[in-house]
Amino acid sequence: MAVISPERLLSVWEQGARRHPIDRALLLYAVAAPDLPVEQLADAPLGARNAALMALRRASFGAQLASWVDCPACGERMEFALDAADLPPAPPASTEPIVVGGHRFHRPSSRHLAALVNADDPESAARQLLRDCAESAEALPQDDTALAELLDAAEAAIEAADPWADLALAVACPACAHQTEASFDIASYLWEELDSHARRLLDEVHALAAAYGWTEPEILALSEARRTAYLARVRA
Ligand SMILES: [Zn+2]
């Protein structure tokens, strides 16, 4: 797994800054999986995308992920350090459809997510996602109750087949002991990190260029150790 170089980091940040989060995730996926053809990334299962993003994150910024969630019962902010090694092992990448009640469902992909951006609420988005994933939507039951049952079963089967598609962690509130599930979105987490790294890097380029007259490519080509050493001298 390649580490993001300072040069690449700034270029990805620049390209992604004005894009929708789904497209930002695809940009990061292209960095994380350079061997996959770019035109296939949008159709890859979300679990495969998330596993690749996590590997990129580990390689670039380490395995410890600091995160937080507000307790839904008492409002207490729970902070926790998540270790990438504690997550369920990524299942082998598979694009095999999942069969439920005789219906075949594709694994949700970035393209499926993009089709939901105008959904009214999370409930109807979840329903639409499952319908979109069905290999033949016209074969789905017409009866509302039967459809609801099938879609619930499909949701459970997809989650079981690919827990990395929507990572969730069980956390207990230290204040009120309420147990809750915190969802962990590696794509937005990694983007936030990349954004703050990019801004810090730009500050560093600015300080070194102003002090020494070096160009941006010259400064980005320095190792982190050298950049830090020169910055310490500039700021002393
Ligand atoms: Zn609580």
DSSP for 23-76? HHHHHHHHHH-TTS-GGGGGGSBHHHHHHHHHHHHHHHH-SEEEEEEE-TTT-P
- Measured distance CA(142)–CA(45) in Å, rounded: 27
Give me the domain span that covers residue 124: 95-161
Q: What is the pLDDT of residue 66?
A: 85
* Lookup: tokens for 130: 């499952």
Does 81 share its domain with 174? yes
Q: What is the pLDDT of residue 1?
A: 60
Task: With a cut of 70, say whether residue 227 has pLDDT above it.
Answer: yes
Structure-block tokens of residue 104: 């075949």
Range with top average pLDDT, 38-42, 65-69, 137-141:
38-42
Q: Which SS3 state, helix, strand or coil, does residue 9 take? A: helix
Same domain, 152 and 41: no
Distance, CA 122 to ligand 1 centroid (Å)?
24
More confident residue, 93 or 26: 26
**For residue 12, is pLDDT > 90?**
yes
Q: Which of 161, 192, 219 corresponds to the end of one domain? A: 161
Q: How far is the CA of 125 from the centre of ligand 1 (A)?
A: 28
Calculate how far, in angstroms, residue 167's C-alpha sits from the geometric centre of ligand 1. Answer: 21
What are the φ/ψ torsions at residue 106 (nearest 5 degrees)? -75, 155
Asked whether residue 236 is domain-assigned, the answer is no
Kindly tell me if the per-residue pLDDT of 202 is higher than 80: yes
If asked whether residues 85 and 100 sit together in one domain, one would say: no
Residue 228 included in any domain: no
First and final C-alpha spacing in the chain: 37
Mean pLDDT of 10-20: 95
Alpha carbon of 173 to ligand 1 centroid (Å): 5
Bigger pLDDT: 89 vs 118:
118
* Alpha carbon of 177 to ligand 1 centroid (Å): 6
75 with 105, same domain? no
- From ligand 1's centre to the CA of 123, what distance in Å? 25
pTM of the model: 0.86
- Expressed in angstroms and rounded, the spacing between residue 113 Cα and the centre of ligand 1 is 31
How confident is the model over 143-151, as a mean pLDDT? Answer: 89
- Number of structural domains (the chain) is 2
